[in-house]
Structures are given as structure tokens and as C-alpha cells.
């Protein structure tokens, strides 16, 4: 199955401008048909979903770009790609821990507010 940019935009929830921007940045390389229109494949779809995951976990476009280049270079870059993902995974792990810590602090602040409001209404 192939998709026009309009269909692909809806499918990925990404906006045609964003899709063209990603392509310009080297993240995507869809085929073109006889009249130069972009043809996105299922493979492009899976790849975009992965890009979104990387983005959601805070990876900047520049790094995704690097990863995309490795991917385009073929199987010989598998180890390097794995390294890259593993490093990102570890950063993510730290980030999650920090967020959890922050949430705990936030919880105690909320608790403080709760007792403070209680105290004031009992005055």
C-alpha cells in the first residue's frame, strides 16, 4: 500500500508541512511517482512511528538525522545504531528517575498546600 502526502499526513498525524520539513532534513526519503508526487510506503510509516517515539523521548532532530543516515548506509551500521539507541535508552532512564523524584517533591508541596488550606479554614 502506498500513500499520497495528504493520506500519509492523516495517517501519521504530522501535517504535510512537517512531512516535507522532515524530508528536507533527511529524516524521510519517500519515493516519487511519474509526476513527481511523493509516495509513502508502509516502511515509511513504520519509520515515522519510530521517529515519533524518538522525538517523544526527547531526541533532537539532529540526532535522529544522524540515526537516519546510518540507517540509509545499510547493515554495516547496525552496531553503531545499536550503540546510539542504547545510549539514548540510558539517558531516558535517568530522565524518568528525575521526573519521578520531581513528582515526589511536587506531591509533598501539594500535601503542604492541603494542610495549609485546612488550617486556614479552621481558623
Partner DNA sequence: TCTTGACATAGAGTTAACTCTATATGATAC
Partner DNA sequence: GTATCATATAGAGTTAACTCTATGTCAAGA
Residue 107 touches a second copy, criterion: CB under 8 A: yes
For residue 60, the partner it binds in a second copy, DNA, none, with Cβ less than 5 to 8 A by kind, is: DNA
Burial 27-50 (b: 16+ CB within 10 A, else e): bbebeeeeeeebebeeebeebbee
Cell numbers representing residue 99 in the block: 521526573
From candidates 17, 69, 89, 109, binder to DNA by CB under 7 A: 17
Cα separation, 92 vs 68, in Å, equals 20
> If binding is defined by CB under 7 A, does position 104 make contact with DNA?
no
Contact partner at residue 110 from a second copy, DNA, none, CB < 5 to 8 Å by partner kind: a second copy
Contact set for DNA, span 21-80 (CB under 7 A): 21, 32, 34-38, 55, 60-62
Cell of 58: 526527547
Q: List binders of a second copy among 43-82 (CB under 8 A).
A: 50, 53, 56-57, 75, 78-79, 81-82
Distance of CA 4 to CAs 20, 68, 117, Å? 12, 22, 57
Amino acid at each position: 500500500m502506498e500513500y499520497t502526502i495528504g493520506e500519509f499526513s492523516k495517517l501519521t498525524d504530522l501535517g504535510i508541512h512537517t512531512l516535507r520539513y522532515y524530508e528536507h532534513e533527511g529524516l524521510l526519503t519517500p519515493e516519487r511517482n511519474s509526476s513527481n508526487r511523493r509516495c509513502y510506503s508502509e516502511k515509511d510509516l513504520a519509520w515515522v512511528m519510530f521517529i515519533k517515539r524518538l522525538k517523544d523521548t526527547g531526541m533532537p532532530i539532529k540526532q535522529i538525522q544522524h540515526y537516519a543516515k546510518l540507517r540509509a548506509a545499510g547493515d554495516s551500521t547496525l552496531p553503531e545504531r545499536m550503540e546510539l539507541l542504547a545510549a539514548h535508552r540510558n539517558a531516558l532512564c535517568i530522565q524518568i528517575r528525575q521526573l519521578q523524584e520531581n513528582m515526589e517533591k511536587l506531591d509533598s508541596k501539594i500535601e503542604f498546600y492541603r494542610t495549609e488550606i485546612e488550617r486556614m479554614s479552621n481558623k
